[in-house]
Amino acid sequence: MAIKTIPLRDVEEKVENMYEAVAVMFGQARRELADRILDKAIQDVESDEYGMFEEVEEPTPETYEEKEKVTTSAIGKFLEGEVAWRKPDNIE
């Protein structure tokens, strides 16, 4: 995966406040990370035959699966308009 820059003008088109945009992207990244952790935990429980935890297996180059980073995914979803958010009514 190559590093690429994020055009700030694209972010500014979505929201009036850059801090709001960062908070929204952070929240999306946190949700995606929680989903990944939950999926991994479910897979581990399903593969546990005897109800006991075994040692954590280190991934080998053959079994390693490279995934997109959650921050990259969250930023991409934000810029594509796939992330919905709302401000609380009492905050201006």
Across the range 30-51, mean pLDDT stands at 78
pLDDT on residue 13: 86
Q: Round to whole Å and give the CA distance between 24 and 10.
A: 15
Is it the case that residue 48 has pLDDT exceeding 60? no
Contact present, 25 and 73 (Cβ < 8 Å): no
Residue ranges of alpha helices (H) inside the chain are 8-14, 18-47, 70-80
Is it the case that residue 73 has pLDDT exceeding 80? yes
**Minimal CA–CA distance to 32: which of 69, 62, 70, 59?**
70
Is it the case that residue 27 has pLDDT exceeding 90? yes
pTM listed for this prediction: 0.71
How is the chain split into domains, by residue range?
6-46+68-83
Is it the case that residue 52 has pLDDT exceeding 70? no
